[in-house]
Amino acid sequence: MPSTPFRNRIAFVRRPWRHPLAAACLALCVVAPSLPAPAQDTGSAFQAMREKARRLPAIPARFDPDEAMRLLEPGNSAVRGRLYTQTAPLRRTDSGHQFVWLVPMTAYAREWVKLHMTPQRDGLKADDDLPLAQLLVDEQVSAHLARTFTDKDGGFAFESLRAGEYVLITMKQDVKAQSFRPIVGYQSENVSMLIDQRCSHGVCSPVYAQQDMQVPVYSDKIETVFDVKDFNTVRVVTVVEDQSLDLGKVRSKRIR
């Protein structure tokens, strides 16, 4: 199988939140309610995510690490694609420098798919990414998956895969900030108002009158509001022995 510049072998992940880059990405991508929070403590964010995940129905299967390890043994197949985000009807943005996860289809993952994914196994049933916490924040599951990072154009590749089914997951947030000075009150101000015009021999002149008007008073402090849009990809992919599966353009869907 020909190699590619952006090649990635399977990486077994042991507690990824201890890796600063992975932790930062997960904190930004998963914990949407805490954004924006530049000083957000990652450990606290993950603990909050675990607490929320407990509200979800329990997966009716036990996670077997040995089964996951067998499914992650090196093989002769590959998966590649190019991730993009459609932020507007006619606007597409390449999702560069984003994490991509590949979860092997264990008995636990299969039950999770039945519980949370659509019948087409392309997307989540609910308009919420909280079910992903059961896979990506759970210590056992997150220690037995493959991950990679998209290049600047959104391209990604998993190589040396064993044939079988996997859950492909991506998450991204589009955060836009808008700064303004809030109104703190109003004050009366005498202003000239145009009330009429007088015309004579084809020449018109404006008529003004002095009137009192309430004008806003703005604060000296600048405040910032954030518009946060969440996107994800959750798709079951089937890898065939000795083949390279090209997913083409993979859309990251808006969930909020």
Please count the structural domains in the chain: 2
pLDDT at 11: 42
CATH number reported for the structural domain that contains residue 68 in this entry: 2.60.40.10
Instruction: Give the residues of the chain that fall short of pLDDT 50.
Output: 1-42
Same domain (yes/no): 150, 170: yes
Note the pLDDT tens digit of each residue in 37-52.
333 344 555 566 677 7
Same domain (yes/no): 125, 105: yes
Residue 188 lies in a domain: yes
pLDDT at 94: 80
pLDDT at 45: 53
Q: Domain of 197?
A: 183-218
Which DSSP string do the residues of the chain spell out, in sequence order?
----SS-------S-GGGSHHHHHHHHHHH-GGG-S-TT--HHHHHHHHHHHHTTSPPPSS---HHHHHHHTS--SEEEEEEEEEEEETTEEEE--S-EEEEEE--HHHHHHHHHHB-TTSBSBSSS-SGGGHHHHTSHHHHTS-EEEE--TTSEEEEEEEPSEEEEEEEEEEEEEEEEEPPEEEEEEEEEEEEEEEEEETTEEEEEEEEEEEEEEEE-SS-EEEEEEEEEEEEEEEEEPTT-EEEEEEEEEEE--
Residue 140 lies in a domain: yes
Same domain (yes/no): 65, 187: no
